[in-house]
A and B are shown apart, each in its own frame.
Chain A
Amino acid sequence: MSQFAGTFGVVSATVHGLIVSSILITGALSSFLAGHLADAVGRPRGMSIGAVIFGCGAALQAGSVHLAMLFIGRLITGAGEGLFLSTTVVYICEIVPAKGRGVIASAPQFFITMALVVGYFFCYGTVNIQSSLAWRLPFALQSGCAFLWAALGLFLLPQSPRWLKAKGRLEEVEQAWLRLGVAPSDNDDDATGGPSETEAGLNLEPLVLAQTTATHQSVKEDVHMLLRVFEKDVRKPTALGVFMMSMTQLSGIDGVLYVSVFTTGRWVSWTNGLAVRASSIPTSWFGQ
């Protein structure tokens, strides 16, 4: 984009790659802390804190006057993203009854691809702006959305009943389920005192409770919890999870998205976004 080059100059392929991937470096690191943060302050607050950090990073990128400023902005954005994204899926899985969990838990992925489509169209419009606003405006919008979502999440989202139970706030559990509109007959598992089992019959009680209390315990116990996913009773789900995530990334969809902008031009790049959106619909369906 000529407006971007006008502000920062033409960057080499190495620097370009570094700027693009920088967001994932801090994202990966902060995602290790996301569980602890969400356990300590609750899922909605955990997500909101991540979104605020994300918004600050995006605002820094929008106002960048130097390449280093853009780079640091992306690092901060990545840190926020790592904090809220994984907690979002955990929160959804915790509040939705098992019968509809598969479909509803795919909501984040639905919105990821939806945002790609909207974003392509948005940038298709802003690229015609002659000033640096052409690339600043998408970042500014991203920042605004992050702060708005943080506020909505903080004030509108109810606490997860399972988190309340793990924290020993048993008297609030029933009220939390009522706030979510979940009838006792739909409320299938541990939050009301029964054994914590998935539909596959796995007993997750020790894992769930230990995860939520690990914040105040030693590093040794944290490591033990981390290794728990390789133990015999959960080895198969772990292998399935690793397989699915690996295949998703190895299929190269991120590469397609990043590279298409440079190789195919604007027109094809946003039709590519539409194709990605369309392809995710049957995937979600078969996944369920």
Chain B
Amino acid sequence: MALPSMLSKVLHPPRYVVASILAGLGGALFGCVKLLA
């Protein structure tokens, strides 16, 4: 994949990727729980 095309994909990710990252942030809460044990 050409660099500009790859860069474009990173800068403009599909909405399902954004939604997945937002949902995945829930994992961060669990990470905090492990730490604060």
Q: What residues of chain A have their CB less than 8 Å away from a CB belonging to chain B? A: 20, 23, 44, 47, 51, 54, 77-78, 81, 84-85, 88, 91-92, 95-97, 100, 104-105, 107-116, 118-120, 123, 138-139, 141-142, 145-146, 149, 152-153, 156-158, 179-182, 254, 257-258, 273
Contacts and interface: CB of A to CB of B under 8 A. Distances in A.
B16 to A, nearest CB: 4
B37 A258 contact: yes
Given A115-B35, A116-B34, A96 B29 contact: no
Contact of A114 (B20, B22, B26, B31): B31
Contacts of B16: 95-97, 104, 180-182
Contact of B24 (A54, A111, A180): A111
B20 A181 contact: no
B19 A149 contact: no
Contacts of A142: 29, 32-33, 36
B15 A146 contact: no
Does more than half of chain A's interface fall in helix, strand or loop, or is it mixed?
A: helix
Given A95-B19, A258-B37, A115 B26 contact: no
Contacts, number: 128
Given A97-B16, A180-B15, A182-B16, A107 B32 contact: no
Contacts of B30: 81, 85, 108, 112, 115
B27 A120 contact: no
B6 interface: no
B26 A51 contact: yes
A92 B28 CA distance: 15
Contact of A111 (B14, B15, B31, B34): B31
Given A110-B24, A111-B24, A115-B27, A138 B15 contact: no
Nearest to A100: B17
5 contacts: A85-B30, A108-B27, A112-B28, A112-B34, A120-B35
B25 interface: yes
A119 B29 contact: no
Given A139-B36, A145-B29, A153-B26, 8 more contacts: A54-B29, A85-B27, A88-B23, A95-B16, A95-B19, A95-B20, A149-B25, A157-B19
B31 A113 contact: yes
